[in-house]
Amino acid sequence: MGYSSTCPCSAALARQLIQQAFEEDFAEIPLTKSAVSAWLGSEEGILATPHSQRSSVECSLRFSVSENGELPIADSIENSIDRIERALGTALQTAVKRIDEQAFALSNGQNLMFCEDAARRLDKALRQAPGVSGFQLKVVHAESLHAHDAVARSEWNW
């Protein structure tokens, strides 16, 4: 299952650079709301951006057998997928218009996570999932800036 993630470290570095530029650009200029707003909307206001990454989770689930010996597969699979998507919070987007992409960027910016964070969220969500009696998961954040991907794994009762 694919999802999107934004690196907390790159977000912090971007904020630091923007803050430094703000302090330099306004060192001797009086602050007014309109001047700050104009600066934020200019190219000078955004020197760096946090990198988002296309991420994925591979998940194998073990489902509990009901009292009558049947597997509640359909409901359990659908509920588990919903639970996984809610735990991650940032789905991949297909073709989107600019306004949709802006909402997507906002969602990612408010949901920063390392691959380890995603694995912990999923571990917690799946341990609490009705009908799930065990799982294995592998989270991969496809790094856009590094020569390697970030990977985390978790399992329970496997």
Residue 24 domain-assigned (yes or no)? no
Q: 93 pLDDT exceeds 80?
A: no
Task: Give the range of the structural domain holding residue 59, as residue numbers without chain letter.
Answer: 2-8+52-156
The per-residue pLDDT for 74 is 62
Tell me how far apart the alpha carbons of residues 79 and 84 are, in angstroms, rounded to a whole number: 9
Residue 124 domain-assigned (yes or no)? yes
**What's the predicted TM-score (pTM) here?**
0.80
Residue 70 domain-assigned (yes or no)? yes
Of residues 118 and 90, which shows the higher confidence score? 118
pLDDT class of 72 with cuts at 50, 70, 90: low
pLDDT class of 137 with cuts at 50, 70, 90: very high
* In the chain, % of residues over pLDDT 90: 40
Number of domains the chain contains: 1
Residue 41 domain-assigned (yes or no)? no
What are the residues facing 62 on neighbouring strands? 134
pLDDT in tens, 100-132: 777 877 888 888 999 999 999 999 999 999 888
Residue 56 domain-assigned (yes or no)? yes
Residue 103 domain-assigned (yes or no)? yes
- Residue 115 sits in a domain whose CATH number is 3.10.270.10
Residue 145 domain-assigned (yes or no)? yes
* In the chain, % of residues over pLDDT 70: 96
Residue 67 domain-assigned (yes or no)? yes
Q: How far is CA 158 from CA 5, 42, 63, 115, 140, in A?
A: 27, 53, 11, 21, 20
The per-residue pLDDT for 76 is 76
